[in-house]
A and B are shown apart, each in its own frame.
Chain A
Amino acid sequence: MLIRSNRSLSLLLACLILAMLPGIGSAGELQLNMTEGVTAVSQEVYKLHMTILWVCVAIGVVVFGAMFYSMFAHRKSRGAKAANFHESLKLEILWTALPLFILVGMAFPATSTLVKIYDTDNADLDILVTGYQWKWKYEYLGKDVSFFSNLSAKSKDQIYDGKAKSEDYLLDVDKVLYIPTGKKVRFLVTAQDVIHSWWVPELAVKRDAIPGFINEAWTRVEEPGLFHGQCAELCGKDHGFMPIMVEALPPEKFEQWLEEQKAEALAVAEAAKQTLSFDELYSQGEAVYNQYCSACHQANGQGIPGNFPAIAGSKVATGELSGHLSVVIKGVSGTSMQSFADQLTPVEAAAVITFQRNAFGNNMGQSVQPIDIVKYQQGQ
């Protein structure tokens, strides 16, 4: 019986290893370990991780080694007679003191790294990061530049297509957050609705975004590069679909990019003055709807009963225009229907409202112009 179980042990272990092999074989860049990252802090964190890992492995080898030896040597089937000792104050003291000693040794480097992570003073650039369901807003404080960053359309299209996914599937965004290299950048992290968490592994920055409070974090990237991250706190339905992309640019290029952003803002304001035809509005609105609204109200406009109301036949979308404007521009506080005033240009807002009032069987036959949006916002 015992011998048999020994054989089955080795058999099963073999199966276990076999089961893992194809996985290890198939992917070239299979990642097993923590990202080392590109900042001084992230590399220190990596070292800490490796130290504690090896400490645990060493203790494991000793403890399990003793145990396996005993299981082998002191088994009844080999004729082992049981000893009768059952107490030793010396041993108890030894194995209380020894781990304590190791832990104290571990606490020193951990403390010093933590102190560095907490040192957010003297930053060269402040960026306000706000989590929304399910996107990020970035605001360069004092620079007059801000924008929203969503999951890219490319990834979105792949979710249900049943085909092989691209390499940056679910990690790529429509607008990248740029930061200058060689500068200490401070992130002021907060949220609009529920708690999110802004995490970029290669910077070793993870900070919870708490609605109503601002948390601080910082990084300093020396070399240009592109880094991916994700939201790391369950924030509702599309928690898995709010990635982060950060690109470090040389300072000159960064400044140049800032200027471009300002120019773009002017262009948007200019575009708000035009008048569009119903068809233009409707088709552009459909695109906007699919990008910004369908996550909740669904592509077919039916919503998810109990969570998100339908647009089809909605009292708001088929009622007074001012009500519709209010919901979309100001949002509904205390619900996930957020304010879209800053996320949509006046043209986009006008388009999507036109679309909602005429799609899914809502035949209002009415178009809304960008200027209506601007007027509504100014009336606030």
Chain B
Amino acid sequence: MAHGPAKGISRWLFTTNHKDIGSMYLWFSFAMFFMGGIFALVIRAELFEPGLQIVEPAFFNQMTTLHGLVMVFGAVMPAFVGLANWMLPMMVGAPDMALPRMNNWSFWILPFAFAMMTSTLFMEGGAPNFGWTFYAPLSTTYAPDSVTFFIFAVHIMGASSIMGAINIVATILNMRAPGMTLMKMPLFVWTWLITAYLLIAVMPVLAGVVTMMLMDIHFGTSFFDAAGGGDPVLFQHVFWFFGHPEVYIMILPAFGVVSAIIPTFARKPLFGYSSMVYATASIAFLSFIVWAHHMFTVGMPLFGELVFMYATMLIAVPTGVKVFNWVTTMWRGSMTFETPMLFSIAFVILFTIGGFSGLMLAIAPADFQYHDTYFVVAHFHYVLVPGAIFSITAAVYYWLPKWCGKMYNETLGKVHFWLAFAGLNITFFPMHFSGLAGMPRRIPDYNPLWADWNMISSIGSLLFGAAQVLFLYIVIRTIVSGRKATDGVWDGAEGLEWTVASPAPYHTFTTPPEVK
């Protein structure tokens, strides 16, 4: 049992250790974030001013599609799985993940899946060009040949996610240390448990819908073809039945991260722990019955429109509970503002702004004006970038000292934060305006009416990108030459992960700790 890390490359290739696998997930996701970011910069460069300058429309669409897919499936989801791998066993007092070999399998599928997906860029006819939502029949009858590889990439990526989620459920439900009751688990564990259920429930549906596409494209079926009695809108229903829970898959673990960090730096326990748990569960439940808010303009019957509008509006309630609890946690605390806290506070503010625009989108009649404009793009970047990405960044700063035993440079961390904060708002806030002023999304060229906002966005994206390069530098510098971190690291931090040494030993909790 006392086997330590193996020497050389084989440590990483064949590992069964949750910490190694967690690190690999995180690095992979970082690489994908940069790749998706470069695609985004191509988009922003072309949109810098009206007229076509840099890329052709056909290629622009491939960039949009791959940017969305890579960010969602390659950057955000694996990053959270990486955090789960590192932290869950330590947080519940387990020696490792429940099924360590399967854990490594879940990881290694991903590089292959994304290699296959991005290799489509070099195929004749080009990469998928139908948006990350790949609506039929643009993605079936009218798609380039590479769509077949896209479909199979989604299949195996889904398999990876399902295996990862099952592993997490088994770890949390089965491997808690004695005394670690469900209602004593850190919120990060709770949010991941619920996220894992979302994954197990919806990834197979995604697999189902791409399978239907495959059949329509190659085997003559008519799921999405009215001529045979099918319906293109059926695609959208099945896709969004997956797609909406998917966006909560990208935010629930973020809630968990922030719920760990804010109490630490407010030096005060999380306010309303149990209501946080119930709110998370309610959000997850509601996420299954709101999917058609992405489809308000497809011509659903009035009744359906109303039901989905009401259900969507309801989600604001449990989400609000979370926001209020965070604010109250800070209230009358004794706050300091180290980098993780800065990112977490920015998360609360900017995510809430993104949530507000989400609520506006939920008002169906108004969505007739917002839908498929940059207003939507602004909404989801506000929930995804300062939402998912900031929380991941916060988590890295927060736990990095525990992972590598070394402290990052606080000044650099703060510079990173302010650059990212400014860059992000300059990039995405103007999109609200261009969207309201009528700029459709997914277009490579546009009317001069929106030129100013787009130029500002493009400049902001460079700033934001530069901030991320700095982030990479900070992380590497910390690992290579950071000064030594203490075991407790933070003043107010609580939880099992802070009871072990920094860096955390290769195997932690081979005998379970007692939790009082």
Task: Please say whether the chains A and B touch (CB closer than 8 A).
Answer: yes
Contacting A at CB under 8 A, from B422-456, are 422, 425-426, 430, 433, 436-438, 440, 442-449, 451-453, 455-456
Q: From residue A349, how far is it (CB to closest CB) to chain B in Å?
A: 24
Selected interface stretch from B20-28, B322-330, B468-476: B322-330
| A19 engages B446 (CB within 8 Å) | no
Shortest CB-to-CB span from B332 to chain A, Å, is 4
Contacts of B233 in A (CB 8 A): 210, 213
Chain A contacts for B232, CB-based, 8 A: 195, 210-213
Which residues from chain A contact B443 at a C-beta distance below 8 Å?
230, 239-240
Would B360 and A52 count as touching, CB distance under 8 A? yes
Using Cβ atoms and an 8 Å threshold, which residues of chain A touch B306?
111, 114
Q: Cα distance A100–B145 when bound, in Å?
A: 49
Q: B-facing mask of A148-161, CB < 8 A → 1, else 0?
A: 00000000001111
Stretch in contact with the other chain, from A20-28, A176-184, A362-370: A20-28
Given contact pairs A19-B460, A232-B373, enumerate 6 new A-B contacts (beta carbons under 8 Å): A8-B414, A70-B335, A80-B332, A83-B268, A84-B268, A304-B58
The residue that A60 contacts in the complex, of B227, B274, B353, with Cβ under 8 A, is B353
Asked whether any CB of chain A lies closer than 8 Å to the CB of B331, the reply is: yes
Interface string of B299-328 (1 = CB under 8 A from A): 100100110011001101100110110011
Return chain B residues, CB-CB under 8 Å to A207: 297, 299
Residue A300, interface by CB 8 Å: no
**Is the pair B57, A237 in contact by a Cβ cutoff of 8 Å?**
yes
Q: Do A307 and B418 contact each other (CB < 8 Å), given the known contacts A34-B369, A86-B268, A204-B368?
A: no
From residue B389, how far is it (CB to closest CB) to chain A in Å?
A: 19
Interface string of A77-107 (1 = CB under 8 A from B): 1001111111110011001100110010011
| Chain A positions 4 through 30: 1 when the CB is less than 8 Å from some CB of chain B, otherwise 0 | 010011001001100110011011011
On chain B, the residues within 8 Å of A115 by CB distance are 302
Query: Is B67's CB within 8 Å of the partner chain A?
Result: no
Q: Are A56 and B360 in contact (CB under 8 A)?
A: yes
**CB under 8 Å from chain B, chain A span 29-67:** 29-35, 44-45, 48-49, 52-53, 56, 59-60, 63-64, 66-67
Name which of B298, B302, B366, B443 has the most chain A CB atoms within 10 A of its CB.
Answer: B366
Interface stretch among A165-173, A283-291, A318-326, A351-359? A165-173
Q: Given A103-B317, A212-B227, A234-B442, is A76 in contact with B334 using a C-beta cutoff of 8 Å?
A: yes
Closest to A16 in B: B422
The answer to whether A193 and B142 have CB atoms under 8 Å apart is: yes
Interchain CA distance A85-B328 in the complex, whole Å: 10
Question: Which of these, A27, A34, A236, contacts B138 with CB under 8 Å?
Answer: A236
Interface residues of B in 53-96 (CB under 8 A from A): 53, 57-58, 61
- CA–CA, A70 and B135, complex, Å: 46
Q: Which positions 190-247 of chain A face chain B at CB distance < 8 Å?
A: 193-195, 197, 199, 201, 204-208, 210-213, 215-216, 230-241
* Total contacts A-B at CB 8 Å: 334
B100 on the interface (CB 8 Å rule)? no
Which of the candidate stretches B124-132, B170-178, B283-291 sits at the interface with the other chain?
B124-132
CB-nearest residue of chain B to A87? B272
Question: Which residues in B have their C-beta under 8 angstroms from that of A81?
Answer: 334
Nearest CB in chain B to that of A64: its residue: B349
Query: In the complex, what distance in Å separates the CA atom of A114 from the CA atom of B371?
Result: 15
Decide if B19 is an interface residue (CB 8 Å cutoff): no
The docked-state distance in angstroms from the alpha carbon of A96 to that of B369 is 30
Interface residue A117 (Cβ < 8 Å from any Cβ of B): yes
How near does chain A come to B454, taking the closest CB pair, in angstroms? 10
* Residue of B266, B335, B447 touching A168 (CB-CB under 8 A): B447
- Smallest CB–CB gap between B329 and chain A, Å? 8
In B144-203, the 8 Å CB interface with A consists of 144-145
A213 to B234, CA, bound (A): 12
Question: B366 to chain A: which residues have CB within 8 Å?
Answer: 45, 48-49, 52, 110
In whole angstroms, what is the CA distance A115 to B301 when docked? 11
User: Of the candidates A5, A204, A240, A335, which one forms a contact with B142 in the assembled complex, judged by CB atoms under 8 Å apart?
Assistant: A335
Please give, as numbers and ranges, the residues of chain A lying within 8 Å of B309 by CB-CB distance: 107, 110-111, 114
